Amino acid sequence: MINVSVCIGSSCHLRGSYNVIQTFQHLIEENNLFDKINFKGDFCMKQCDQNGVTVIVDGKKYMIDPDRASEFFRTIVMAKID
């Protein structure tokens, strides 16, 4: 099971975390990955001084642009699926 968390704190919300969540949810559904990905939102991840939305995949933090959420999901998250 791959653990994926998206920051939903104030700063990330203003930077587009809702769009990242919507994109990830759509891709999880489209690819029928419900049993392979543990997906959730988390409050502030303490990366407010960084650019982008904070996403944690299996403990590793990434800062992503909401416009690149689909590309990120396909290259980083889906690459971890067996």
Hey, what domains does the chain have and what are their CATH numbers? 2-80 (3.40.30.10)
**Residue 60 contacts by C-beta under 8 Å, 6 or more apart in sequence?**
none
Q: What is the pLDDT along the chain (82 residues), one digit of tens a residue?
A: 999 999 999 999 999 999 999 999 999 999 999 999 999 999 999 989 999 999 999 999 999 999 999 999 999 999 998 7
Q: What is the pLDDT of residue 59?
A: 96
Q: In whole angstroms, what is the distance from residue 19 CA to residue 21 CA?
A: 5
How many C-beta neighbours within 10 Å does residue 48 have? 13
Per-residue model confidence as pLDDT tens digits over 47-65: 899 999 999 999 999 999 9
How many C-beta neighbours within 10 Å does residue 6 have? 23
**Residue 69 contacts by C-beta under 8 Å, 6 or more apart in sequence?**
19, 20, 23, 24
What pTM value is reported for the model? 0.93
Radius of gyration of the chain measured on its C-alpha atoms: 12
